Amino acid sequence: MPPMLPPPGHADPFVPMPPPARHPADSIVLPEAKLPSRWKRPIKHTGVVWVMAIAAAAWCAGMLGVYVGARLQTNETSTAYRSSTQPVVIGGPRDELLEQRLDVAGVNAALAPSVVAVSSDIGSNGLTGEGVGTGVVLTEDGQILTNAHVVEDASEVRVRLFGELDPRPAKVLAIDPSNDLALLQVEVTGLSPATLADPSTVRVGDEVVAIGFALDLDGEPSVTLGIVSALNRTILTEIGALDGLIQTDAAISSGNSGGPLVNAAGQVVGINTAVARGDSETAASNIGFAISMNQVLPELEILRAQANGEEFASGFLGVQLGERSDGGAGAPVTEIVPASPAEDAGIETGDIVIAIDGQDIYGSGGVIGAIRDNKPGDQVTVVIERDGEEKTFEVILTDRPPQEG
């Protein structure tokens, strides 16, 4: 039994940006377009904002579906592709360039050859459409990273490279909806890989630019400037959590999904994935999220291994969780699964989880994300608060038990 998400009404939703549908130039649907409720893709997070998908076409948003299924799945097609074995390029320690004002034109020119348009044919319930997102070149021989929600459930995926007019067919090598990342491969050499930033070099207040094919507008990618607003944010989805996120005020729209968030050195600090918006009761302004390199780099190893036929299973702790209503941090344990690792370790109902493996926990999403990224057999250190005292447990995770019924 997976950790329980907060009940409806106890959390405010965040959603990834669905790829905009292709459309005639005179029929662009603005972000304010109303979507049928069954076509929205909510991500829930305890907070003060409501977020809806920024869609260029309502029917395309519906076709993306929700994040369901196995942690990692391959897209089975008849085209033969070989996964790249080239290493990704990772930047060095923080240098003086990062202390200077960001040169938007210079950074954009440096990154342009590494940013690609990703288009996909998506069908659901008899409807078909084409979505558009963004990708980042990882290797010279055609390996590309994008968001899972850009290519999930796609029957065909294409990539248009820098300087080319026509798209190339692409293979989805591996996809992880729970972390919203997917690995693509195109049969081409001579590409310009992006440099991925050392996670330790990213600081709140750093200037960054978001690059991507916003709203599938004609021409080259859109570039927006902002700062790193916060680090290590967590947002909840219906089936899990995105954790370790970078919050930014750089404008992000549909079509930016899967594109890079870039620092002054021209290094990718995150993969743009979600945006927050207000409603009639709450206000949200310039709140976007990117998956940080702290999450991307280990996930790349998992995706590459899965592309080569290896399977990955998430670890199982065995707790159901709630959210604190008193303004405090941590995730209250509302139920313990019998004979689970949590019960065996001595964790009890009413405990408040405040840290896992040295990472502070601010809500249930932090627990879900931390456990999801570990395998059965891994040992995790869980710190809880019980009756005003902290207690530490060493817990060995197990395989998730089969669902009944």
Q: Which of 149, 287, 293, 267 is nearest to 211 (CA)?
A: 267
Active site residue 121: no
**Numbers of helices and strands, H then E, in the chain:** 6, 22
Catalytic residue list contains 325: no
Cβ 46 vs Cβ 10: under 8 Å:
yes
User: Catalytic pick from 12, 84, 119, 149?
Assistant: 149
Q: Which residues contact 403 (CB under 8 A, 6 or more apart)?
A: 1
Q: Is 352 helix (H, G, I), strand (E, B) or coil?
A: strand
Taking CA atoms, 50 is separated from 10, 32, 283, 405, in Å, by 12, 14, 8, 34
β strands within 202-318, DSSP E = 207-212, 222-237, 241-248, 260-262, 268-276, 287-292
Catalytic residue among 119, 257, 292, 314: 257
The gap between the terminal CA atoms of the chain, to the nearest Å, is 12
Residue 99: is it exposed, middle or buried by C-beta count within 10 angstroms (0-12/13-18/19+)? exposed
DSSP 214: G
Query: Is 198 designated active site?
Result: no
Tokens of 96: 């003086």
Beta strands in 142-255 (DSSP E): 143-146, 154-160, 168-176, 181-185, 195-196, 207-212, 222-237, 241-248
Which is catalytic among the residues 180, 206, 351, 373? 180
The upper half-sphere exposure of residue 46, i.e. CA atoms within 13 Å in the direction of its Cβ, equals 21
Which residues have a catalytic role annotated?
149, 180, 257
